[in-house]
Structure 1
Amino acid sequence: MAGGLFSMEHPWASAFGILGNIVSFLVFLAPTPTFLRVYRKKSTEGFSSVPYVVALFSCALWIFYALVKTNSSPLLTINAFGCVVESAYILIYLIYAPRTARLRTLASFFLVNVTAFSLIVIVTLMLVAEPQRVKVLGSICLAFSMAVFVAPMSVILVVIRTKSAEFMPFSLSFFLTLSAVAWFFYGLFTKDLYVALPNVGGFFFSFTQMVLYFCYRKPKPAAVLPTTATDSTLSGATTLPVEEVMVMELPLAVPEVTIPVLAELHKLEQQVASPRKAAAAKAF
């Protein structure tokens, strides 16, 4: 498959690699409406940029892995597209974010995408023997992906606690499940466990989200939530804390070949960053 996406020598691996590219392409574009709203309102509305910074790091990491392995064209193409998309998201965020958030984003970018990534590249190329590079780099990618899969737990817990799946779109969960299946079989047919194994967790969490959607797709009237973090026009309705609404509202695609659910990684940051918004919401 080194010569292109499809190879007659490995038809099944090629087919699932192409399917993974198509589905991941759609998932990468999932946050587009959010950034169109940011552009129209000229404001980031308190959203965190960290998931996109981490997503860019993930894409770069998988590109490096694909280059070291040398025969992983599907991984290379989709993550190259991911790098372009995530860079565009970060650029838009930097343009419209307030000064404090902009500085925090730049600090995260240089810490993760410049320092950490450069360190991984240098260590892999300078200190690791060539026959072991795929194994070492694959292990790093595997560990990072496994850590990412813990993120959906907070979404699942919020849905169960509120008995409402209003802010957990079924379409996103469906495409995440399909993405996990496609990349799992791509890893299986190419005998690449570093790609296959993380998507077992990806399938479990995304499938669980679909099940919960059908269980709680019709919320009780008392669980009505505002459509945005700043929408407090509804009176008499029981709402979630603003920081939870903001996180659930952000349908973030994980910009790697596994499952895109990185928005929940910085729920704590949202809680710290939005006390004023929470106080304003309670005033109503």
Structure 2
Amino acid sequence: MAGISGHWAFAFGVLGNIVSFIVFLSPLPTFYKIYKKKSTDGYQSIPYVVALFSSMLWIYYALLKTNTTLLITINSFGVFIETIYVGFYLFYAPKKDRIQTIKMLMLSVVGGFGAIVLVTEFLFKGVVRGQIVGWICLVFSLCVFVAPLGIVRQVIKTKSVEYMPLLLSIFLTLSAVVWFFYGLLLKDINIAIPNVLGFILGILQMVLYVIYNKKEKAILKEQKLPEKLQNHMIISIDEKNKNFPGLTEEQIIDIVKLGSLISSGKIHIASCLHDAMCASAKIENTPNNLQTVEAIN
């Protein structure tokens, strides 16, 4: 019976590696968007820093246990890919977000992980050390699942799913199910318990996505606006910037945002080909509530 349980545990472990591999790769579309925008505006580094810390802890835990090769393989990949994500984020992040991310890295990955290794190595021995590290892994695994709740809060606040990583939510939920059974079959509560919460939070994120995505589509349909024009502003600027002398495009955007009381609109810049076409500018409120800054003669 124990042999059968072991075989099933191995099967779920392999499946868990496959699903977790996809989970680790699922933020790639997010970072592609960051690359295209050349900015991390609207995105947070917390999930990636926490995931990096958690992967490091699980490797340490696995080294203290037996028959945990499958934990080592997937979390080694996790450390590798999350390090790339964090580095990419730091490269494109504004100064304030970059400093905050570096502080989190120093506090968790350097200070936190280093302290855990030193304390458990010197104060605990044998099985007890494994149990202590397992409890710590349990707590921080819960943090990995809770970290995306910042995005959930943003979705509820803005009533928009633009920054909701749906693909990540789906695979985190599937991963939670697989690793729960893996931990259950190994009779390791440190692996099984966090994945119960992971499943619940994953379902919550997917439900919110469906709700607010439907609301967005309903609003667009009611206003009869193309989705790509919703909450957008179009600013027309001449080549010599005669309309707004002495101001950069970014400064013009900020001024127009404040003036039109739009806090979350997207702004497109359209440069005029001929100076004569851009003598002045005005703001018009169209019947469909699409606010446009247009050049007039």
| 8 Å Cα contact 1:164-1:218 kept in structure 2 | no
Partners in 1 of 2:210 and 2:29 — Cα distance?
24
Higher strand share: 2
Partner amino acid, structure 2, of 1:221: I
Quote the residue 1:282 is aligned against.
263
TM-align CA RMSD? 3.4
Q: Which runs of 5+ in 2 are unaligned?
A: 235-253, 266-297
Quote the residue 2:52 is aligned against.
56
Aligned-pair distance for 1:68?
Answer: 0.9
Q: Please show how residues 116-265 of structure 1 align to structure 2 within 5 Å.
A: 116-151=112-147, 168=164, 170-215=166-211, 217-219=213-215, 220-221=218-219, 233=232
Among all aligned residue pairs of Structure 1 and Structure 2, give the percentage whose two residues are the same amino acid.
50
Partner amino acid, structure 2, of 1:188: L
Q: Please show how residues 20-59 of structure 1 align to structure 2 within 5 Å.
A: 20-45=16-41, 47-59=43-55
1:101-150 alpha-carbon deviations (Å, 9 max, x no partner):
33332222121101110000011111012220111111111122234444
Partners in 1 of 2:165 and 2:93 — Cα distance?
26
Quote the residue 2:249 is aligned against.
none
Normalised by the size of structure 1, how large is the TM-score? Answer: 0.69
1:15-51 alpha-carbon deviations (Å, 9 max, x no partner):
1001111111111111112222333443323533232
Confirm whether residue 79 of structure 1 aligns to residue 75 of structure 2: yes
Q: Secondary structure at the match of 2:232?
A: coil
Quote the residue 1:70 is aligned against.
66
Aligned-pair distance for 1:170?
Answer: 4.8
Quote the residue 1:114 is aligned against.
110
- When residues 31 and 156 of structure 1 are mapped into structure 2, their CA distance, relative to the original with a 3 A threshold, is closer
Q: Secondary structure at the match of 1:172?
A: helix
Q: Secondary structure at the match of 1:10?
A: helix
2:86 counterpart (63, 82, 90): 90
Q: Which runs of 5+ in 1 are unaligned?
A: 1-6, 236-274
Partner amino acid, structure 2, of 1:233: H
Partner amino acid, structure 2, of 1:282: S
- When residues 101 and 65 of structure 1 are mapped into structure 2, their CA distance, relative to the original with a 3 A threshold, is same
Aligned-pair distance for 1:195?
Answer: 0.3
Partners in 1 of 2:149 and 2:232 — Cα distance?
30
Partners in 2 of 1:154 and 1:93 — Cα distance?
17
Structure whose alpha-carbon radius of gyration is higher? 2
